[in-house]
Each structure stands twice: as structure tokens, then as C-alpha cells.
């Protein structure tokens, strides 16, 4: 949920981390949802970009590095980030299955207010599975 990540953003910011808010388009099994579908956190530590997501449910539990060679990633078994142009896709692998997309994002930085319209939609629309 975007509010869990936003609260974590506030916590990390208050203890000195430089955290940015980025937007995620969630993959529904067929295609990607709209912009601002999910809020994701971005930080840089020792010249390495990391994403942080404590609100996506069954997902990675430690910051995930955005690496140039994701197939060489051994620190995060079951997860990788694949870049295609300006888009980055978080992919998850369970057991012997192939990697499957969870969501995509760009490195564009946003404010919490940019998520307001989608938040209202997710809470009030009969088409939303969060209503």
C-alpha cells in the first residue's frame, strides 16, 4: 500500500536518509496498470541506487539494488530488475518458475500529492479491488 511506503519514507527521511518517491505501474498478468498505481521508494547509498518497498505484500524484504547486470545478482535470490529504455521492471521468480514481472517504474521523482487522484480512485471506484 502506498501509505505504508509513505510512512517509511517519513521515517527514513527523519533519520537522515535521502529518499525519493517514484511511481509504479503494477503488472496484472496481461499488462501494466496506470501511473501512480503504487508508491515506491528510491535511495542512493555509496553510488548505488536501491528501491525500497514495504507495502507490496509478497515481495522483496530488503532494499533491491538497481544493477547493470541483474543476471549476476546473487544478493537477492528470486528477484531482479531489468531495464528496457527508461523503464525498469521488477521481476520475481518462485521455485523453478521463470521470472515474471511484478511492476515497472521510471526514475522520475514525484510528490505524495501526485498520488492523490489514484488513491481516491482505488478507495472509491467499483472497478478497484481495494474498494
Q: What is the pLDDT of residue 91?
A: 93
How many independent structural domains does the chain possess? 1
Q: How confident is the model at residue 87 (pLDDT cuts 50, 70, 90)?
A: very high
129 domain-assigned? no
Q: What percentage of the chain carries pLDDT values higher than 70? A: 86
Of 56, 51, 53, the residue nearest 70 (C-alpha)? 51
Q: What confidence tens digit (pLDDT) does each residue in 88-130 have?
A: 999 999 888 899 999 999 999 999 999 988 877 677 767 766 6
CATH of the domain at 63: 2.40.128.150
- Round to whole Å and give the CA distance between 100 and 80: 10
* Residue 115, domain extent: 2-124
Distance of CA 18 to the CA centre of its chain: 17
Give the contacts of 68 (CB within 8 A, at least 6 positions apart). Answer: none
pLDDT of residue 83: 93
**Is 60 part of a structural domain of the chain?**
yes
Q: What is the pLDDT of residue 15?
A: 96
Query: For all residues of the chain together, what is the average pLDDT?
Result: 86
* Residue 57 belongs to some domain of the structure: yes
Amino acid at each position: 500500500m502506498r501509505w505504508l511506503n509513505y510512512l517509511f519514507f517519513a521515517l527514513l527521511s527523519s533519520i537522515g536518509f535521502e529518499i525519493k518517491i517514484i511511481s509504479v505501474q503494477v503488472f496484472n498478468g496481461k499488462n501494466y496498470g496506470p501511473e501512480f498505481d503504487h508508491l515506491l521508494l528510491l535511495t542512493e547509498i555509496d553510488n548505488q541506487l536501491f528501491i525500497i518497498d514495504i507495502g507490496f505484500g509478497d515481495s522483496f524484504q530488503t532494499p533491491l539494488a538497481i544493477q547493470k547486470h541483474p543476471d549476476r545478482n546473487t544478493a537477492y535470490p528470486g528477484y531482479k530488475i531489468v531495464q528496457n529504455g527508461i523503464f525498469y521492471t521488477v521481476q520475481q521468480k518462485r521455485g523453478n518458475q521463470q521470472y515474471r514481472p511484478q511492476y515497472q517504474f521510471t526514475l522520475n521523482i514525484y510528490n505524495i500529492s501526485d498520488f492523490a487522484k489514484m488513491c481516491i480512485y482505488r478507495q472509491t471506484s467499483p472497478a478497484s479491488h481495494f474498494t
